Every structure is written in C-alpha cells, then in structure tokens.
Amino acid sequence: MVCALGIEGSANKIGVGIIKDGQVLANVRKTYITPPGEGFLPKETAKHHREQILSLIKSALKEANLNNSDLDVICYTKGPGMAPPLLVGAIVARTLSLLWSKPLIGVNHCIGHIEMGRLITGAHNPIVLYVSGGNTQVIAYSNKRYRIFGETIDIAVGNCLDRFARIIKLSNDPSPGYNIEQLAKKGKQFIKLPYVVKGMDVSFSGILSHIEEIADPSKKRSKRKKPDEPEAPEYTKADMCYSLQETIFAMLVEITERAMAHCDSNEVLIVGGVGCNERLQEMMAVMCEERNGKLFAIDERYCIDNGLMIAHAGAEMFRSGAHMNFSDSFVTQRYRTDEVLVTWRSD
C-alpha cells in the first residue's frame, strides 16, 4: 500500500493531489489567470504559486481525511516546464520531505499525464496523443520506455491555440483553449489554412502566422495588389476559431492513425490540457471507429495539469523501488518523455 502526495506547478496551474493504491483521495488546484490578450510570465506565475500552495496542501489533507503521518512519499514535478514555477513545487516538496521524514520522488510531467490517463480510463497499452500548452507528442510504450513517434517541430498545439486567443483578445478564464472551443461551435465558414505534416511530425507556427494575418490585416506583409485581385473576404472570430481547430486537429488525427498502423494498436488515449477539447475527441473517435479501435479520453479534472497525476506516477515509481537522493531533487526545464526508465510496467 502506497499513499502519495503530489505537487504539480510546471505552468500556470498549481495543484496538490493525494492517492492511495489507485484510489483518488484529493485533487485540488488553482489557476493563475491573466487579463485578455496577455500570457503568463514565469516570475508572476511563481508568485501566484507561492501564495496558493500551502493552503492547497492543507485542503488536500483535509479532503483526504489524512495526517502527514499517513503519507508514504512526497512527489513533485521535476520537469519539463517553466523554471520559476517548477522551483516552487520542488522547494515545498523538499521542505515537506525533511519536516515529515518522507522519501522524495521527482516525476516527469508527461509521464504523469500518461499514467493518470491509463489509471482513469483503464486503457492497457494505447497509442498516446499528448497535447498541451507546452508539448505535442505521439507516444507508444516499448521496452521500458515511452517512445516518441512524432512531435511538434516548433510550438505546441496548446501554445498555438493560446496565442491565437490572445491575438483576438479572448478571455483567459477559465482557459483560452476552452473559449476558442466554444466560439468555434458558432463558426460558419471554413478558411483554408496551411496543413503541415512532415512524416510523423507537425508544425503549428506557420498556421498561427497565417491566421494572425487574417485576424489582423495590418500585420500582413505588404504585397502589391493586382488590379483584378478580389477583395479579401471578411471572416468572424468564430470562423477563424472553427477553421483553426479543424485544421490542427486533423493533423493530429493523421499522425496518431499512422502510429496506430505502425504499432498494430487499436487503442488511443488522449492526455494533456488540450485533450479535454470535445471536438478533438469527436474527430479522433471517428478515426478509431473506422479502424475498429477504441478511444480513451478523460475530463478536465484529470486532463488539465493536476497534482494527482504526479502523486499517482510517483507512487508507481516508489512501489517499483525507485528512490531519489536529496542532492538530485532539482528541476529541469527540458525533460523528455523517453528519458524516463519505466520500471513499474512489466509488459
């Protein structure tokens, strides 16, 4: 029996979760929300996390009806992510480890998402589409590693959506991606955008630049207009959100299907913050059905960054015999999914 407390703070969400042998006991979090048109900066995000984290730990223990003596291990996000917010979680985790005399485990953020998805959905050995504000990867498990089959070669899909939401001044509450999803449902016209799939990899920066010029023609590179060239059509914000979603999600479905064919798999698991987008789930479900496969997806409680996923992944690592020296309890902004030796899986 392993009871673990996990702390996640790699981006604009700070979360604390407690899990005991796969049973969810607590999952609390707070989000740093900035004004429309603005992103979140590392320094201000870390300040928010420092102000919230102690009350979240108390709330989690209260929700779980546990004392610190009931915990077996303290887990924290080691990376990847923004350094200042990551440090908040790491410093608090180290402090709790010393105060409560508990072992410490540093968890890869991406592995946390994958293991949380597998726990909640019951997926056995799926192709994983990991889509968030900082990462876009198609992953399959093999020989004690989560192997990356394809990924973005520039910005992440969530970053593309968030930046476009800022361009058109959508609210960041509850999240830019959610507000794009709702606005896209009202779209009527499809705008043809660049479709950039390179083998198993994808690119989103060119799509973002292209649609930014449509949203704000003043940013368009000056080109001499031909005499017979028609006026550029006018599109609504809803049309642009709809077209952007349809294009980039189609790209993600394509590379996921290719990974399924390569691995002869009939399961797909979507994880990460963008994974709770219902349109992405719909498009992926159609593809899976055509291949006689099955889609596994989770809701915002577990899809969006949370401390519970770190607690669960850390508990699995701890149960398999993993340990961390205190001198190794640092953070790293670059920590790839395939760097982690998966000791807790026997298949």
List, for residues 45-74, the tens digit of each pLDDT value: 999 999 999 999 999 999 999 999 999 999
Average pLDDT across the chain, whole number: 96
Give CATH 3.30.420.40 domain extents, the chain.
Answer: 3-114+304-328, 124-297
Question: Number of H helices and number of E strands within the chain?
Answer: 10, 12
The answer to whether 99 touches 89, Cβ cutoff 8 Å, is no
Residue 182 CB partners (closer than 8 Å, separation 6+): none
Q: Is 132 annotated as a binding residue?
A: yes
321: pLDDT strictly greater than 90: yes
Q: Is 323 annotated as a binding residue?
A: no
Angle between helices 176-184 and 278-290 (to 10 degrees): 70
Q: Is 70 annotated as a binding residue?
A: no
CA distance 281 to 316: 28
Fold of 124-297: Nucleotidyltransferase; domain 5 (3.30.420)
Query: Which region among 220-234, 255-269, 280-294, 312-326 has the lowest average model confidence (pLDDT)?
Result: 220-234
Q: Is 312 annotated as a binding residue?
A: no
CA distance 248 to 250: 5
Which tokens sit at 192? 């043809």
List, for residues 153-207, the tens digit of each pLDDT value: 999 999 999 999 999 999 999 999 999 999 999 999 999 999 999 999 999 999 9
Asked: is 3-114+304-328 a CATH 3.90.1200.10 domain? The reply is no
What proportions of the chain, in percent to the nearest 5, are helix, strand and coil?
45, 20, 35
- pTM, two decimals, is 0.95
Q: Is 134 annotated as a binding residue?
A: yes
Q: Is 277 annotated as a binding residue?
A: yes
Q: Is 162 annotated as a binding residue?
A: yes
226: pLDDT strictly greater than 80: no
Q: Is 130 annotated as a binding residue?
A: yes
Nearest to 166 by CA among 117, 214, 215, 118: 215
Q: Is 210 annotated as a binding residue?
A: no
Tell me the pLDDT band of 217, cut-offs 50, 70 and 90: confident
Tell me the pLDDT band of 104, cut-offs 50, 70 and 90: very high
Nearest to 165 by CA among 215, 204, 202: 215
Q: Is 117 annotated as a binding residue?
A: no
